[in-house]
Structure 1
Amino acid sequence: MLLEFLVLLSALLAWAAFPPLGWGWLAPLALAPLLAAIRRVHTRRGAAFLGFSFGLLFYGSLTFWLTLIGFYVVVGLAVVMALFTAVFATALWSARSWEPVPWALTATGLWSAMELLRARFPLGGFRWGDMGYAIADIPWFRYAAKYVGTSGLTVITVALAAGLAIVVADRKQPWQPLAGAGALALFVALAGGMSMETADRTKLQVAVIQGSTPCPGAHCANENVLTFEQHLASTSELEADRFDLVVWPESSAQYQGDPVTNPERSEQIAQEARRLDAYILVGTSRGVSDTEWINANVVFNPDGEIIGEYVKRHPVPFGESVPARDFFDFIPDIARVPRDMVPGDGPVVFEVDDVTMGSVISFEGGFAKEPRQEVQAGAQFLVIATNESTYLETSAAEQFLRMTRMRAAENGMPVIHAALTGPSALFDANGNRFDETAIMSQGQLLGTISPRVREPTMYTRYGEWLAYLSVITALVAVLVQFRLRSEPPTSEDVEPIEALT
């Protein structure tokens, strides 16, 4: 029962490290009981059970807001995520008898490999619950993301947890793994804290229009048109010649409000662009056939002309696209997604005055890949347009905000987070939130950002290098341990037997 209690404690602490509580400093402590239990359990099957139980409890509680769509959604997602932690636990159990240092290196590398794989598979991956997002609540760690990324912060978190687990699980209580992890954490934190990003001289005046919908969390008659009109009305209240960029969130001008296929709607936005002498980004959706649709950010210039659009590349599985639709047809709620989203081809950037803007849409903001590609394509600041109205006032919005702030910290540039029903927020180049709106409300977010004009950050250039280094280090540790165990003992390893006299 003790090991099961440790897993329960681990899942509870991990949940508490994320919103709604958001006690990110708990992240290293959260994984320590799980790792200690895996080191002490007697059977491989027992390790798999412990890992699966942790995943089911942690990811199920973390994403409980998905019950607003259906309880089966939470269960299905939690089971898939639990399979990852079960495989992790099973693999780590094989190293249970190793010395503390190689065991801790292996635990850290295996967890990093699990998160790297989980970010890509299945169906494009899922990054909610990555430990790097939690420990980033500690500012100096967040500032260091420009060097190591969120995945690198995960490495530090798990290394600390593995060191603590050794102290708990081993009777001799060796401190070397914890001391080594502590030294690494201190070095990274100091590197972040002593090299905070400073604002560049270039300034951009921005306005985020949080027009909301006439029926948040539900669907109602004429919803798309009314949502468009609410955003248009709020934009018309802005003072002329004050702003460089106006941002409408995802789904603010979709279908009947789509400016690409509806000339009347396009002209209404164009008039505001000319009146304000500003660029306007609007979030739209449009059907391209009876079975397909696209989700896009359309950009108008100050002359009222559409200068291009970014098409979302990373659909939400079962939310924007249904894989193997015929197989899952037995699920009634599949009818809520009658068409499949067509992904865009790649990053698209826009010139806004003398700086370059990149944008991604909703789900993509939870991943490092797509925003980083926008920055590599030349973006000097990012817009993340989203619509989380389905989840009402749950912790979903705050969880997502704490993920999108890492896109700012990783790439050392400001991020504009525009949410249909809020909260919308502005982040500086260190990932600090310096202004925001209330959730489930209409409002405007007015502020000044400083686009990045310097060289790309280390993370932008080299990506998840520390996570991959951790995986390679674990592989080396495994190879060394297998070799040591396969070599026959030498004469120096065998105690001599004294002759009988």
Structure 2
Amino acid sequence: ILALLAAYLSFYISLFCVLTVKWSRGKPVYFFLLAPLVWTSLEYLRSTHMTFGFSWMGLGYSQFQTLTVIQPAEITGIYGISALIVLVNAALHFFINTWVFNLNKHDAWKPSFRVIGVTTLVVGFWVGWGNWALNLTRSQIESSPKIRVAVAQGNIEQHLKWNKLYQQPTMKIYKELTLQAVEGKPELVVWPEAATPFYYGLDPSGTKYVQDLAKTSGVPLLFGSPYKKTMGEKELAYNRAFLISNQGETIDVYDKMHLVPFGEFVPFRQALFFIEKMVEIIGDFGLGKRATVFTLNDYQLGVSICYEIIFPDLVRQPVKNGAEYLVNITNDAWFGKSAASYQHISMAALRAVENRTPIVRAANTGISGFIDATGQIRNTTQLFKRELIVDEIAPNKGPRTFYSKFGDIFSYLCLALTAIISLLAYRF
């Protein structure tokens, strides 16, 4: 599976090389103009398909710590930042290529300096815009009402997570963390993805345990739990998020909408008979149908589960429909001590900027933390450590961003221009 994934992702880079070389026809200035458009189009296409879309670590995410550069994502989305990076590198390529291979031509410097000049103007405008947006957003955060949220990172080992003998110790851990959180007077306590080692709502004793905890603590709980439904003769499991009140009543639920291929479902299982055994091992999860907007007290919030946070268009849906802050619950224990956990939270930072909404992140083994509307990551936990963190966030009561309302317009423009160029290249 990993080999197939690597081949699939490398296909887009190979296609970028083939198309830009073919369409630029050996003219560096054409490459300078084409490269950002083609790269952005392919990166967008790679990221969007509901079955095989994989938006992990697009080029723009490399700038997640450079807050000035990422602010225009509220208009262009992450793909605008990728386009900017390619534009700068294409300009450098043009400059070096022109001076090295055309050194004997007395006028070789003219086009290269024009390209550098245009790129400097674009970058200057981008950074100026980003600096203005960063300062404006910070001032809005400072003047906005705040709410306190607690995140419980249980750090449950993966091999123990579904062991029935470890159910009670697991719930005891979350109980202790939740009661500890009460001291910080939060308005909400968040547990990670699949925090309950039972089917909440279907397991009577486990469900009552969580409901009693909500009543005892006096704080609403948002947590992940497996769930299942019977559809005729078929039983489907769901990766679900529950929000329950401080009286233990279920306020609303959200079912994961973007499942992990070969992790939560097997694509094309009916057509590909030879993978039926894989279905038996993995199982088949049901697909969520709605981007739930939860209402808690005077605020509305949206939830994403696990790697859903890497899909910009999916995350913007609850914000478009009124969510004022976002919660991402995940279990990154699968990543071990690799860089993937750090990459995962870095991608979440861009969702905060695109939608100008703070994000609360609860991970089983880390990295949990808080992200404000500028994309600033703060108050994070360590990997593989049991921790409780409490912090303030400023829900966005203001207007929705261009990106929240309209989505990937910038990417559509890049796709349209790339399509036009391909037609012209084919015709002429």
TM-score scaled by length of structure 2? 0.88
- Work out the CA distance in 2 between the residues paired with 1:217 and 1:404: 28
Identity of aligned residues (%): 25
Higher relative contact order (CA 8 A, sep 6+): 2
Aligned to 2:363: 419
Aligned to 1:277: 218
The size of the alignment, in residue pairs, is 409
* DSSP 3-state at the match of 2:77: helix
The C-alpha deviation readout for 1:457-489, integer Å capped at 9, x for no partner, is: 122123222233233344455566677xx5xxx
Aligned to 1:212: 155
Alignment of 1:337-356 (within 5 A): 337=282, 339-356=283-300
The CA deviation at 1:409 is: 1.1
Q: Please, which runs of 5 or more residues in structure 1 have no aligned partner? A: 1-72, 487-501
Q: 1:181 aligns with which of 89, 104, 119?
A: 119
- Residues 156, 170 of structure 2: 8 Å contact kept: yes
Give the counterpart letter for 2:84 in structure 1. Answer: I
- Work out the CA distance in 2 between the residues paired with 1:387 and 1:372: 22
Aligned to 1:235: 178
* DSSP 3-state at the match of 1:209: strand
Give the counterpart letter for 1:247 in structure 2. Answer: V
The CA deviation at 1:208 is: 0.4
The CA deviation at 1:307 is: 1.1
**Do the aligned partners of residues 426 and 461 (structure 1) sit closer, same or farther apart at CA in structure 2, a change above 3 Å counting?**
same
**Higher mean C-alpha displacement, 430-439 vs 281-290:** 281-290
Aligned to 2:105: none
Give the counterpart letter for 2:255 in structure 1. Answer: V
- Work out the CA distance in 2 between the residues paired with 1:471 and 1:101: 20
- Work out the CA distance in 2 between the residues paired with 1:408 and 1:122: 22
* DSSP 3-state at the match of 1:439: coil
Aligned to 1:45: none
- Work out the CA distance in 1 between the residues paired with 2:160 and 2:279: 18
Aligned to 1:131: 59
* DSSP 3-state at the match of 1:309: strand
- Residues 193, 306 of structure 2: 8 Å contact kept: yes
Aligned to 1:168: 96
**Do the aligned partners of residues 241 and 435 (structure 1) sit closer, same or farther apart at CA in structure 2, a change above 3 Å counting?**
closer
- Work out the CA distance in 2 between the residues paired with 1:105 and 1:216: 51
Aligned to 2:41: 113
Q: Please, which runs of 5 or more residues in structure 2 have no aligned partner? A: 102-107
The CA deviation at 1:269 is: 2.1
Q: Which has the larger radius of gyration?
A: 1
Q: 1:150 aligns with which of 55, 65, 78?
A: 78
- Residues 349, 358 of structure 1: 8 Å contact kept: yes
Give the counterpart letter for 2:82 in structure 1. Answer: T
Does residue 452 (structure 1) correspond to residue 399 (structure 2)? The answer is no
* DSSP 3-state at the match of 2:23: coil
Alignment of 1:356-395 (within 5 A): 356-395=300-339
Aligned to 1:86: 14
Aligned to 1:469: 413
Aligned to 1:77: 5
The CA deviation at 1:333 is: 6.3
Coordinate RMSD, CA, aligned: 2.4
Aligned to 1:303: 247
TM-score scaled by length of structure 1? 0.76
Aligned to 1:52: none
- Work out the CA distance in 1 between the residues paired with 2:50 and 2:96: 34
The CA deviation at 1:360 is: 0.8
- Residues 193, 329 of structure 2: 8 Å contact kept: yes
* DSSP 3-state at the match of 1:286: strand
